[in-house]
Structure 1
Amino acid sequence: MRTSMNVVMALCVAATLPATGGCARGDGLDDEGRSIAPAAPPPGATRQRRDGRGWKITQTADFNADRMADVVWYDAERNRIAVWLMNGSDLLAPGPFIPGPGGDGWLVWANDFDADNMADLLWSHDERNLMAVWLMDGSRLRAPGPSIPGPIADGWIALPGDFDFDRMSDVLWINAEHNRMAVWPMNVTQPLAAMPPIPGPIGGFAFGFPVDVNFDGMADVVWNDIERNLLRVWLMHGSRPLVEGPAIPGPIGDGWVAAGVGDFNADGMLDVLWSNQERGLMAVWMLEGTQLLAAGPVIPGPIGDGWEARAAGDVNLDRMADVIWQRAGTGEMTVWLMDGSRVLAPGPVIPGPHGGG
């Protein structure tokens, strides 16, 4: 069954899976003992496949173990990715183009599957019901894993997150058509177990993306209802919901999507980056677990048409997430360093791969 456009648009990103799924200091903790969570895949990320207009930024993740977010580009039309290593708001090194699995229609996410503190790739194909984990060494492919069938029935999409606190990503399967989710514990590229599907939230929350919201070292699920502009947070304990949070209304007006998540105020809990592509706007909302703590101001994007906030991630190691913008048509990007919900310093405009492909 082909996933509907509304379902695809609603699916998570970032960050987006922010920095890595682990930390070189051990057990996924930073200097102050806090978990360093990967950025969740952004809800806008699945548009990578459907609009097919060259290179798109899909999310951020730490690919070179420097604890700063790097940028994942995906060219859905040619089924290839590129990882750009970042140093603050500047490009450190553009990685090579890497062809994806055979055939078209793949989606791609990033997280650390082998506990080497460097992000790897999770490929997902909802129409063929397949997933594959590819291990990375920085911006280069180290070892492609096998294609693995997902749960029974069509329409399942695989997303990465560490649900069992072993510093290696597991897989969250989401089926929007049937409102089901399932967590599969992973051992690097292979599933350890196929947990049974359980129901998702009632009423319109088509997709969730996995990210550690409360920094307990285990992924939770942030649900987005794009049609009604709502969020819900489920705190998870392994493969089961522990606390099902209330619906949280998004910014006023049409066109808003949750483009990414990250800790924007260094309080040890995840916050939400909202993006409005049509109006070129962004807003950061601070969360406290499952509850809204503070709604930040609506902020205009860079000067010019076509800019969209695509992902969130800490690019400068100040423990606060920053915002990655991309310009439609040109493929240009820029990184805005953030201080909480306000802009600290807009970075330079950087040309995308091959000028945008």
Structure 2
Amino acid sequence: MGRFIIARNSAINPLTALSSMENTSLRTLNTGTFIVDGTLGGRPGSIEIYGIGFGANGQNLLQPNGGAIVTRVYVVVDGVRLVDISDVSINGNNLYRWLALGDGNAFDAAIMSGPSEVRLSDFSEAQGGREGHDSMFGYGGNDTLQGDSENDSLWGGDGDDVLTGGTGNDLVLGEAGFDVARFVVGRASAEWALLADGSWRVTASTEGTDIISGIERIDFIGTSVMLGNTARPRDLNGDGRADLAWRGADGTVALWTMSNLSITGGGTVARVGSDWTLLGLAETDSNGRADLVWLSNAGAIQVWSMNGTSVGLANVPGSRPLGTTFQGMADMTGDGNADLLWRDLSTGAVSMQRLDGVYGVSGSRSVGTVTTDWTIAGLGDFNADGRADILWRGAAGQVVVWAMDGNTVIGGGQVANVGLDWQVRGLADFNADGRADMVWRNSTTGDVVVWLMNGTSIIGGGAVAQVETSWNIRAVGDVNGDGRADLIWRSGGGTVVNWFMDGATVRGGGVVLDVSTDWQMV
């Protein structure tokens, strides 16, 4: 494997006038001498890299572990040499091409062919180098690219690459293959969020804020996070279908994995004391399976990281904010994991906590304070930005959406006014457009209505059916795997029924099972 140890080079200023080097080919004139031919700014050009010897040379800005020492780099355009750049060392002969990128105060870019390892190394001013913004390209092969301080750009190209931006605000790009972005901090010291263009923003305590794209996994010290591996709501086994959780009168927990109307697996899991409340099922640790989140009467939060219907890990990563009541659980930060929403019912203050599975719960983060004649009706992503928003209901029937980015309100507004005999019974995506919709139930008549939403606008939906009020919507989730949320009903006598939904239309369904009323669906 070729190994390149690359330091910032302040002498490379003239290259900044060249936008790129294209149509490249590599020539070797003799031992230690390479020429890269191509076009620079649309004109024929070449870069000559001339090495004069072998062995270590501590005075060079780029220090090799032996091998060819390159002491001059020449840039030639239309046959005219533009500049001599001295004091450069490269070990190996994998150089593919050099590009004119960066801010002119640093070594700009290198592209390698084949498996390569690239590292940036800081050198003091006395040794002739200084910090700058750097770009590195891996192209084919399994590459290891590592930046240092300042704002760097790393592109792994094809192959399975390991990319470390270092300190500074870096751009880290994978491509084909299985690529890893590495951060030299603990998981608890970082936050990550999905952006609208599909890239991820990672903020680490000592390493700045990086934008990463085409990356399959983030490595932290001691643990990893799989990106894009978020479970669908209530999906315990990662099959794309909503599953059911039950709590018996004696505290026994039972789980069912579902497919359409069939119970495909599960059973009793454990018996938990009555001083613990099961808050619900949600993805908390980016393993592609929903987990169980618990709250004790004393305020402790416990997470069961699930492997299907078996408990993989269990831990108490933190506690709720003092004096608050649980309001909901959904991904408000865009990291793929559910967060916890709380409210002080005496003051109206709303707060949230970022939840990272069994690994940790953040401190309380203020969302805002709203008078207590307003209640939180649910959490759902109404604008398809990958972050759950807050649905409010006023005492006069007002329906208001707050568009959220973590604990920050970034937009929203009033949707409608609805009579108080109507209640929201679920927020989920009923038409597979990536946005949460609302299902309403009239407590007097039993009428069911679905609103298809886009932000604060009702874009469709309508009446679904009228159902006797002895029946209740106990959950919403995609039980048949078609990408659309379904309605899960339970009668006063314990019968469980699934309705397969397409927007506001019932496409099918039927009875699942009769369950004793000693058991409550969570």
Q: Same fold (TM over 0.5)?
A: yes
| Structure 1 pair 123–305 and aligned structure 2 pair: CA distance change class (3 A) | same
Task: Give the SS at the match of 1:96.
Answer: strand
Distance of 1:126 and 1:288 partners within structure 2: 37
Using the TM superposition, give the Cα deviation of residue 264 of structure 1 relative to its aligned residue in structure 2, in angstroms. Answer: 0.9
| Structure 1 pair 297–38 and aligned structure 2 pair: CA distance change class (3 A) | closer
* Partner residue, 2:302: 82
Matched-pair contact (CA < 8 Å) for 1:37–1:217: no
Using the TM superposition, give the Cα deviation of residue 158 of structure 1 relative to its aligned residue in structure 2, in angstroms. Answer: 5.5
Matched-pair contact (CA < 8 Å) for 2:413–2:456: no
Using the TM superposition, give the Cα deviation of residue 306 of structure 1 relative to its aligned residue in structure 2, in angstroms. Answer: 1.2
* Partner residue, 1:299: 513
Distance of 1:74 and 1:286 partners within structure 2: 32
* Partner residue, 2:480: 265
* Partner residue, 2:521: 309
Q: Which runs of 5+ in 2 are unaligned?
A: 1-192, 201-227, 235-241, 247-273
Residues 171-219 of structure 1 deviation map (CA, whole Å, 9 limit, x = unaligned): 22223x32122111112221113x3334344462123532222121111
Using the TM superposition, give the Cα deviation of residue 36 of structure 1 relative to its aligned residue in structure 2, in angstroms. Answer: 6.8
Matching of residues 325-344 of structure 1 within 5 Å: none
Q: Which runs of 5+ in 1 are unaligned?
A: 1-20, 45-52, 311-357
Distance of 1:37 and 1:200 partners within structure 2: 31
Matched-pair contact (CA < 8 Å) for 1:207–1:225: no
Distance of 1:134 and 1:292 partners within structure 2: 36
Matching of residues 135-174 of structure 1 within 5 Å: 135-152=354-371, 154-157=373-376, 159-174=378-393
* Partner residue, 1:71: 292
Residue 182 (1) aligns with residue 400 (2): yes
Using the TM superposition, give the Cα deviation of residue 241 of structure 1 relative to its aligned residue in structure 2, in angstroms. Answer: 1.3
Distance of 1:71 and 1:183 partners within structure 2: 27
Q: Structure 1: which amino acid aligns with 2:474? A: A
Task: Give the SS at the match of 1:231.
Answer: strand
Using the TM superposition, give the Cα deviation of residue 78 of structure 1 relative to its aligned residue in structure 2, in angstroms. Answer: 3.0
Using the TM superposition, give the Cα deviation of residue 120 of structure 1 relative to its aligned residue in structure 2, in angstroms. Answer: 1.5
| Structure 1 pair 197–60 and aligned structure 2 pair: CA distance change class (3 A) | same
Matched-pair contact (CA < 8 Å) for 1:135–1:143: yes
| Structure 1 pair 203–294 and aligned structure 2 pair: CA distance change class (3 A) | farther
* Partner residue, 2:463: 246
* Partner residue, 1:235: 452
Task: Give the SS at the match of 2:393.
Answer: strand
Larger proportion of strand: 2
| Structure 1 pair 245–253 and aligned structure 2 pair: CA distance change class (3 A) | closer
Using the TM superposition, give the Cα deviation of residue 244 of structure 1 relative to its aligned residue in structure 2, in angstroms. Answer: 4.0
* Partner residue, 1:100: 320
Using the TM superposition, give the Cα deviation of residue 57 of structure 1 relative to its aligned residue in structure 2, in angstroms. Answer: 2.4
The structure with the largest alpha-carbon Rg is: 2
Matched-pair contact (CA < 8 Å) for 1:57–1:74: yes
Aligned residue-pair number: 267
Using the TM superposition, give the Cα deviation of residue 289 of structure 1 relative to its aligned residue in structure 2, in angstroms. Answer: 0.7
Supply the RMSD in Å over aligned alpha carbons. 3.5
Distance of 2:443 and 2:288 partners within structure 1: 31
Using the TM superposition, give the Cα deviation of residue 63 of structure 1 relative to its aligned residue in structure 2, in angstroms. Answer: 0.8
Task: Give the SS at the match of 2:288.
Answer: coil
Distance of 1:184 and 1:293 partners within structure 2: 32
501, 504, 509: which one aligns with 1:287: 501
| Structure 1 pair 36–86 and aligned structure 2 pair: CA distance change class (3 A) | closer
* Partner residue, 1:220: 437
Residue 114 (1) aligns with residue 328 (2): no
| Structure 1 pair 150–294 and aligned structure 2 pair: CA distance change class (3 A) | farther
Matched-pair contact (CA < 8 Å) for 1:128–1:154: no
Task: Give the SS at the match of 1:95.
Answer: strand
* Partner residue, 1:204: 421
Distance of 1:227 and 1:94 partners within structure 2: 42
* Partner residue, 1:191: 409
Task: Give the SS at the match of 1:245.
Answer: strand
Distance of 2:426 and 2:469 partners within structure 1: 23
Distance of 1:238 and 1:91 partners within structure 2: 37
TM, length-normalised to structure 2: 0.45
Q: Structure 1: which amino acid aligns with 2:342? A: W
Matched-pair contact (CA < 8 Å) for 1:163–1:220: yes
Task: Give the SS at the match of 2:382.
Answer: coil
Distance of 2:418 and 2:444 partners within structure 1: 15
Matched-pair contact (CA < 8 Å) for 1:129–1:157: no
Distance of 1:127 and 1:228 partners within structure 2: 33
TM, length-normalised to structure 1: 0.64
Distance of 2:347 and 2:449 partners within structure 1: 29
Task: Give the SS at the match of 1:139.
Answer: helix
Residue 62 (1) aligns with residue 283 (2): yes
Using the TM superposition, give the Cα deviation of residue 229 of structure 1 relative to its aligned residue in structure 2, in angstroms. Answer: 3.5
Using the TM superposition, give the Cα deviation of residue 259 of structure 1 relative to its aligned residue in structure 2, in angstroms. Answer: 1.5
Q: Structure 2: which amino acid aligns with 1:113? A: M
* Partner residue, 1:275: 490
| Structure 1 pair 153–121 and aligned structure 2 pair: CA distance change class (3 A) | closer
Distance of 1:127 and 1:210 partners within structure 2: 26
Matched-pair contact (CA < 8 Å) for 2:332–2:406: yes
Q: Structure 2: which amino acid aligns with 1:197? A: Q
